[in-house]
Structure 1
Amino acid sequence: MPLLSPEQVAAAQKANLDAVFGLSGKAFDGVEKLVALNLQVVRSTLAEAQENLTKVPGAPEPQQWFALQAGFIGPFAEKSLAYGRQVFDIASTTQAEVTQLAQTQYERYNDRVQALVEEAAKSSPAGSEAAIAAWKSAIAATTTLYETLQKTGQQAVQVAGSNFDAVTATVSKGVRSNPGQAPVTAGAKR
């Protein structure tokens, strides 16, 4: 008795193609969001640069010019932090969607393999119980490994998000407390 019929092979191939296109679609959606964000940032940066450059000729004294330049730093830092947060959010959302799709595919695959092993156990000759038990044990070990890796990945994303939030809060607080200060360069005196 054959283990897989042609219909089962065709169904498995279709499921695999659906999985590939699903994962590709999620990755493409993430890239599309990043491109849209980058275009938005470029547009706003160009508009702000134009606005700021029109202010520069109105500062005839060097002190006024430096004060004007220092006033640009705070908003730039805040916008940079917001951009970083948006990139992280897009990446983590895309990662979560891809992980969900991968988990669904893994569960389907695991179910098919278990059904295949059960079918093989029914039609196996006497004395092959040890081999079937070894297959079942390998499937259980693989499932445990997959679950552990998935939990570890989720924890890593959560830690990265927490670290990003902490850095963002610290930098944002520093920018807000010193909004008009010019950066100090090496050898410069205040």
Structure 2
Amino acid sequence: MFTLPEQFSNAAKANVEAQTAMLTALFGKAFDSVEKVVDLNLNVAKASVEDSAITMKQLLAAKDPQEFFSLSAAQAQPSAAKAIAYGRSLAGIASSAQAEWTRTAEEQFAETGRKLSALVDDVARNAPAGTENVIAMFRSAIGNANAGYEQFSKTGKQAAEVMEANMNTAVSQFSQTAEKAMKTARK
């Protein structure tokens, strides 16, 4: 049987270890997301340089101003499509990262809650008579913390859904504007 100070010391140590594991997992997810964004940007930059070289060759080969402006206008649609694809890829990375962060945080919070509940149960079994009110207060605090976290998590998910919907709306509006601009340029 452990003494009460030893139980709390072990619980504090376990809590610090859990927090460290959570932060390590979250930072790992963040670095993965940053790596994906960097890869995306490098690929876009490489493709952009290649496309620019091809476009410059075509523009320099134009025989008259009419052909030059036709070639210039023809480049607007592929550029707009690439910008839209980039926006969607970036939104996908952000959405995936948010989902991973939420999942990791939920798992860690649930594990910490289980350990804390187990500690309170263990303390309650070994507590001297007359401490029932203190134990009930701890259980109530744990319940309130869990309810608060669940509300925070729910609000975070709703915010992520709104952000994703707004990103999709922005990409859709940009796409429509680009299409209108292309139709106007063709006339």
- Report the TM-score, using the length of structure 2 for normalisation: 0.84
1:102 counterpart residue number:
105
Question: Could you tell me whether the CA contact under 8 Å between 2:29 and 2:100 is conserved in 1?
Answer: yes
The amino acid that maps onto 2:32 is D
SS at 1:4's partner residue?
A: helix
Moved more, 171-180 or 41-50: 171-180
Structure 2 counterpart of 1:138, from 123, 141, 144 = 141
Structure 2 counterpart of 1:161, from 156, 161, 164 = 164
Q: 1:5 to 1:155 in 2, by over 3 A?
A: closer
Return the offset for 1:122: 2.5
Q: Percent identity?
A: 34
Aligned: 1:72 with 2:75: yes
Mind listing any 5+ residue stretches in structure 1 that lack a counterpart? 183-189
Question: Could you tell me whether the CA contact under 8 Å between 1:71 and 1:180 is conserved in 2?
Answer: no
Return the offset for 1:98: 1.6
Distance in 2, Cα, partners of 1:10 & 1:167: 47
Aligned: 1:20 with 2:62: no
Q: How does 1:39-118 map to 2 (within 5 A)?
A: 39-59=42-62, 61-118=64-121
Question: Could you tell me whether the CA contact under 8 Å between 1:117 and 1:135 is conserved in 2?
Answer: yes
Distance in 2, Cα, partners of 1:161 & 1:51: 35
Question: Could you tell me whether the CA contact under 8 Å between 1:70 and 1:181 is conserved in 2?
Answer: no
Alignment RMSD (CA, Å): 2.5
Return the offset for 1:84: 0.9
Deviation per residue, 1:2-46 (Å, 9 max, x gap)? 442887766555544433322222111111111111111011000
Distance in 2, Cα, partners of 1:79 & 1:113: 50
Question: Could you tell me whether the CA contact under 8 Å between 1:71 and 1:181 is conserved in 2?
Answer: no
The amino acid that maps onto 2:34 is V
Mind listing any 5+ residue stretches in structure 2 that lack a counterpart? none
Distance in 2, Cα, partners of 1:140 & 1:5: 19
1:30 counterpart residue number:
33
Distance in 2, Cα, partners of 1:151 & 1:7: 31
Richer in helix (by share): 2
Question: Could you tell me whether the CA contact under 8 Å between 2:18 and 2:112 is conserved in 1?
Answer: no
Q: 1:180 to 1:59 in 2, by over 3 A?
A: farther
